[in-house]
Structure 1
Amino acid sequence: MSEAKIDENHLDESPRGIAIMAAVGVAVGILSGLFGIGGGTVIVPALVWLGLTQRHAAATSMLAIVPTSISGVISYALNGHVDWIAALLVFCGMFVGGQIGSWLLSRLPELVLRWVFVAFLVFVIINQALFVPSRDSAIDLNVATGIEMAVFGIVAGVLAGLLGIGGGAICVPALSILFNASDLIARGTSLLAMFPNAITTSVANVKRGMVHTKAALIIGIIAACITPFGTWLAGIASPSVNTMLFIVYLAALLLRSIFVAWKATKAAQAAKAA
């Protein structure tokens, strides 16, 4: 990211700001291992609070997700909770969708991005509340489900690139609801599918000058060290408890995101009226 871009965003790089990024990394590591997500739902609001625009926070979040997801994949794979073929199929779709999402990210207005993020959280909460996955089920792969996974991957990739998330908040419930994966297999497979997409999308974002590399590395490396602990927590908690915790977390995040988006909307309306 160029110095001009960094100055434009006014990221707080004081000791306080660095400490907040480190704390975000710890939180992301736990959540990534526990829920099979990349952690963008934490990283993006935190970076916006520290001074980045929604656009640059989303792009920086994608880079931070790379080491986090790799650590999570290793942790889940060691326990046999990764479907490698399913992950490959989802990734193929996410690769295409991620490029579309990155392109949209560089062009959509800041206010639109904030409300898209709110809508996304509402969608995920509803899906989590309606379905509790089994711990014993597995994905039944055939030609039809393979095609469906690739198509689903495109949709997940667009949202991941646009919102600065790894895609796990979409992939984990979808793998269980649509493809009958157990809760742990859905988490491990989601993490595997997302990290190549996070790499390719981050490359596109870096080329567009939207990534704050220092912030991404601080958060991502710390999160990667903590993720195995979150994976351990996921294994000892029941599927229903995991689902309930995820809903509570997302609901709190939704309330904050609505408040922030509403304030941005009022500010935009006031500026237009003036």
Structure 2
Amino acid sequence: MSNGETQVHQFDLAKLTSPAGAVEDWARTFLQQRAMPTNLKSAIEYAFFGPGKRLRPVLVVRCCEAVGGDERAALPAAAAIELIHCFSLVHDDLPAMDDDDLRRGRPTLHKHTNEAMAILAGDAMTSLAFEAIASGIDDAALSRAVARELSTATTDMISGQIYDTLPAFDADTPPARRLELIHRHKTGALLRCACRMGGRCGGASAEQLNNLTHYAESVGLMFQIIDDLLDVTQSTEQLGKTANKDADQGKLTYPGVMGIDASRAEVARLRDAAHAALADLGASAEPLRELCDYMAVREK
């Protein structure tokens, strides 16, 4: 589909995201077996198991399946990337960062507990992500490759947060280029990582991994443009987090730089590019195509 033909009512979101349940089960067992202070474990569980799209772990599993792999092979990597994503949300919400009180329709972790616990729980989720990979993936070469993907993406994500909140761009860097650097790092890095880790867990060939990477780069940027659009078109109640936050903080956004209509046109272009990247993967990549179409029209 192209040119805005995607229909919201066509999506069976529960089916598309069904791997999320298996990822949560794997993560729950992993966390239950890991000795740590009770209050720290409770804080991590609050951040990890709260409501959420689980997009990154689902992409890990769906990309594994798209290249012929089994869901079970992808679960440790899927849990690991969700731990990193949740750490980033907990730290982003802190008073020193975005200073948010609401996340996924609930109090942010530092409001639910306190700032010290939120900082330490985020720290712990970072290290636990790599424990999950090391303990869950028996093949040493694959474990190293997956850990390398995730560590690189985590650093890139943090770089994106710097670009967004503590920028040090050259004076002649145009706003559109600054915006792309922010989004390709802050949001795109983990989405790209999810797809590449999934491909590796499924035994992808170099060509298949390249296809998944191109898909991820398109949907990663598209996802953030949609986030920017939702921030200016939806209410706090609809989003489950504070609306208009970026504009209020003077941050660069696609609607702010390009306008709403041009931003929507860019979403359509990126959606088509993502579909094109999957052309050689055939029917096994259909869930990835549907996830792309859903992400292009999501409303929160």
The two structures share one fold, judged by TM-score above 0.5: no
With a CA cutoff of 8 Å and minimum separation of 6, indicate the structure with the bigger relative contact order.
1
Superposition TM-score, scaled by structure 1 size:
0.31
